[in-house]
């Protein structure tokens, strides 16, 4: 985590593993499986975030089951104690999130919602209004994981949201290479990179992950 901050990350997303990561593709699924086998829990992950003591914002991503199992207030209190600024819960739809949004407001933690290609304007507006921190713009259909090229749906989605919300719009899902990140930042406010950085970690090569993070940073800075 400290290495990612040193590589120039503006913010860092930390995954809290769950046994049924329905949004995630093979790389994150395998990372979750290994983490759970090693005994990872929400408490242990948040403990690592707290220990890192980062100077950039941290958002955690997990699924609704662990959050509700812990209890909304208890989970958010633990996030605040760890220094977490925002939480992404991809399987919680915005129209079922009023309780979650209220709890986040009480805790001063930003709830981040996902906007998907093909969503109607009314739903995109609701997502923009409900999100704090940023809106997670899903670049393409399907689960997380690298793609050979940046999908055209990414720019279309950002353009549709741009007139509906003043929240920063970050593109994620499918960002595999620095060149794709640079292309996305030509129309979006940033990118979320997950699988591309986790893949070398599965091969026990943290140094490669950090070199790639630096390459993403450098590519973005050229746009």
> Is 73 an annotated catalytic residue?
no
Q: What pLDDT is stored for residue 23 in this prediction?
A: 78
Q: What pLDDT is stored for residue 83 in this prediction?
A: 98
**Residue range 11-18: mean pLDDT, rounded:** 96
Any idea what the Cα angle at residue 75 is, between residues 69 and 80, rounded to 5°? 175
Any idea what the Cα angle at residue 178 is, between residues 63 and 185, rounded to 5°? 75
Catalytic, out of 5, 10, 13, 77 = 13
- Which tokens in the block code for residue 89? 């819960």
CB contact at 8 A, 137 and 167: no
Nearest to 101 by CA among 133, 137, 78: 133
> Is 99 an annotated catalytic residue?
no
Whether the per-residue pLDDT at 134 is higher than 80: the answer is yes
Question: 98: which residues sit within 8 A by CB, 6+ positions away?
Answer: none
Q: How confident is the model at residue 150 (pLDDT cuts 50, 70, 90)?
A: confident
Catalytic, out of 20, 24, 51, 221 = 24
Measured between its terminal Cα atoms, the distance across the chain in Å is 25
Q: What pLDDT is stored for residue 24 in this prediction?
A: 83
Q: How confident is the model at residue 143 (pLDDT cuts 50, 70, 90)?
A: very low
Q: For 41, which DSSP code? A: -
Nearest to 30 by CA among 170, 145, 183: 145
Q: How confident is the model at residue 149 (pLDDT cuts 50, 70, 90)?
A: low
- Per-residue pLDDT reduced to its tens digit, 73-126: 999 999 999 999 999 999 999 999 999 999 999 999 999 999 999 899 999 999
- How high does pLDDT run on average in the chain? 93
- Which tokens in the block code for residue 159? 């353009």
**pTM of the entire predicted model:** 0.92
- Per-residue pLDDT reduced to its tens digit, 52-67: 999 999 999 999 999 9
Distances (CA, A) of 118 to 67, 137, 160: 28, 12, 10
| Three-state DSSP state, 73 | helix
Q: What pLDDT is stored for residue 79 in this prediction?
A: 98
Q: What pLDDT is stored for residue 91 in this prediction?
A: 94
């Amino acid at each position: 985590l400290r290495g990612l901050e040193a590589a120039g990350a503006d913010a860092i997303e930390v995954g809290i593993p769950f046994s049924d990561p329905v949004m995630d593709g093979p790389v994150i699924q395998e990372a979750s499986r290994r983490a759970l086998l090693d005994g990872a829990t929400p408490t242990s992950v948040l403990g690592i975030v707290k220990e890192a003591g980062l100077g950039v914002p941290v958002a955690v991503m997990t699924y609704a089951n662990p959050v509700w199992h812990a209890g909304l207030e208890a989970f958010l209190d633990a996030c605040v104690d760890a220094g977490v600024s925002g939480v992404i819960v991809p399987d919680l739809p915005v129209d079922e999130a009023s309780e979650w949004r209220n709890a986040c407001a009480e805790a001063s933690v930003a709830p981040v919602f996902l906007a998907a290609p093909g969503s109607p304007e009314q739903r995109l507006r609701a997502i923009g209004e409900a999100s704090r921190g940023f809106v997670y713009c899903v670049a393409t259909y399907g689960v997380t994981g690298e793609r050979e090229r940046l999908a055209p749906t990414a720019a279309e989605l950002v353009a549709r949201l741009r007139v509906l919300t003043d929240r920063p719009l970050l593109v994620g899902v499918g960002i595999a290479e620095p060149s794709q990140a640079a292309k996305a930042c030509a129309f979006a406010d940033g990118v979320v990179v997950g699988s591309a950085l986790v893949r070398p970690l599965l091969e026990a090569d943290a140094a490669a992950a950090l070199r790639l993070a630096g390459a993403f940073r450098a590519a973005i800075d050229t746009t």
